[in-house]
A and B are shown apart, each in its own frame.
Chain A
């Protein structure tokens, strides 16, 4: 089942970036800088961070302002794309 899903994924072209996703790499780059890198995070991590930024539960400088521009579904799509290696 797992292998079947993997093969199915490989057979289809990588999806185009969902709305907003391609902008993230304007700030988020390689690990080690002041701005956290997004590489190595699961989609769930990224989506829950975006949700916490959106509600203000997680303190931020700009991400609180940016996350408010995306719905829960949009945030999840962005998170899945980033976790899948999109940039």
Chain B
């Protein structure tokens, strides 16, 4: 047995038989976490497990997860499969404030809550997610979203789009509008296009889906395009930016979606608008002019406001995409950095992993993975690592990746909310 093997066996024995020693040794202070999604709930649990006093601020009683919500839209699973309560988080010992954060004062280090109370912090972690920009696309505001759903936050919008698709006339037209970068879940719109096409092909074979994209290149593009060619010819039409795909205006009254070149009439229109970090980020002074939050790649501390850290979709995380997996991985690294900083230790440079699965049909999964490290002040791809599933893989690999996708979802939601 090698030295490492023996140490690991002994450490394993210690971990199995005795309480885990606190990671937080020497760390003192109050930590507030805002946002109970994949990032925030993870950070709160890591900090609590390390013995720190942490309060998680989250107004919702139930979290509705976005990964796999495209399956809800296609009628492949119920919305209830996306719902997770906070009983597990509370039972783990994390203090929950069931209200929203109204304002952050970075000078006095206080968070003012909607219930009128304030929380003092030594370190604040914001994991607030995204806001949909209802000022970015002519004709598309909150009221228009009630007619032309974005369904880019899981919940009522997801069910609305699912209902509209189910009720659509035979031979109808669905229009899906995809924004430019950056936005939550880079491959998400293309998974949605795939599963809507699958739904049409199997339920309304004369219907069509037109995908209007504000860009020419996208995540897992070769894999999606080859699957579309094989599975959905005649059903899915993809219009990239170069062919006039950028949507410039919508009219919910007319059910029309306009580009500079053409106006499309839709029976169902799903409009995914441009996005920014949720409003608390700008209020706290951690969002830049892009609407997103620049952070240090080692600690996820804001570049703009000391002692405030930002993880998940709201952060500008360099090469890391805005995904649930990334939010979870960032939250763990950020929480450990916060523990170090509160103990006046210097956090060491991390590495982070991301893996994103997409379904192009039931039982047909594809993935992209990446490994990241801080390089020249940003989180950069480690060259030679990561990448997408092979384009020429056999069906057995697609089935295996679909099964891994399901299992990933079970595992990560159990870790975060269970």
Interface residues of A (CB under 8 A from B): 2, 5-6, 9-10, 12-14, 16-17, 19-20, 22-30, 33-35, 42-44, 47, 61-62, 65-70, 74, 76, 79-80, 83-85
Given contacts A33-B407, A34-B403, A84-B15, contact A26 B369 (CB under 8 A): no
Whether A22 pairs with B408 at a CB distance below 8 angstroms is no
Q: In the docked arrangement, what's the CA distance between A14 and B25, Å?
A: 9
Q: Mark B301-333, 1 if CB is under 8 A from A, else 0.
A: 000000000000000000000000100110011
| Nearest 8 pairs of A and B residues by beta carbon | A69-B371, A85-B15, A84-B11, A69-B385, A43-B8, A29-B411, A23-B353, A20-B351
* Chain B residues close to A by CB (< 8 Å): 1-2, 4-16, 18, 20-23, 25, 325, 328-329, 332-333, 336, 339-340, 348-355, 367, 369-371, 373, 382, 384-387, 389, 397, 400-401, 403-404, 406-408, 410-412, 414-415
Known: A6-B13, A12-B21, A44-B2; 12 extra A-B contacts, CB below 8 A, are A10-B18, A13-B23, A14-B21, A19-B350, A20-B350, A23-B354, A29-B412, A33-B410, A34-B406, A44-B4, A84-B14, A85-B20
Name the one of A6, A26, A80, A84 contacting B408, with C-beta atoms under 8 angstroms: A26
Query: In the bound complex, what is the Cα–Cα distance between A10 and B411 (angstroms)?
Result: 29
B309 → A minimal CB distance (Å): 15
A47 vs B1: C-alpha distance when bound (angstroms): 13
B373: nearest residue on chain A (CB-CB)?
Answer: A19
Residue of B7, B18, B348, B415 touching A25 (CB-CB under 8 A): B415
In the complex, which of the residues A29, A42, A47 contacts B414, with contact meaning CB atoms closer than 8 Å?
A: A29
Q: How far is the CB of A60 from chain B (nearest CB, A)?
A: 10
B397 touches A61 (CB 8 A): yes
B174 to chain A, nearest CB (A): 31
Contact of B4 among A26, A29, A47 (CB under 8 A): A47
Partner of B400 from A19, A61, A70 at Cβ < 8 Å: A61
Chain B residue numbers with a CB within 8 Å of A6 are 10, 13-14
CA distance A22 to B42 in the complex (A): 11
Complex contact B352–A23 (CB within 8 A): yes
**Interface CB pairs A-B, < 8 A, 13:** A17-B332, A22-B329, A23-B332, A23-B353, A26-B355, A43-B8, A43-B9, A62-B355, A68-B371, A68-B385, A70-B385, A84-B14, A85-B20
| Complex contact A69–B23 (CB within 8 A) | no
Contact across chains for A29 and B415 when beta carbons are under 8 A apart: yes
B interface: dominant SS:
helix
The chain A residue with its CB closest to the CB of B24 is A13
Task: Please report the C-alpha to C-alpha distance between residue A70 and residue B23 in the assembled complex, in whole angstroms.
Answer: 24
Report which of B7, B328, B406 forms a contact with A80, defined as CB distance below 8 A: B7
Distance from A55 Cβ to chain B, minimum over Cβ atoms (Å): 13
Q: Which residues of A contact B328 (CB under 8 A)?
A: 26
- In whole Å, how far is B288's beta carbon from the nearest beta carbon of chain A? 27
**Is the pair A80, B350 in contact by a Cβ cutoff of 8 Å?**
no
- Taking a contact as CB atoms under 8 Å apart, the answer to whether A66 and B415 are in contact is no
Q: Which residue of A lies closest to B390 (CB)?
A: A61
B369–A66 contact, CB under 8 A?
A: yes
Give the complex CA separation of A23 and B373 in angstroms. 13
Set of chain A residues within 8 Å of B403, measured between Cβ atoms = 34
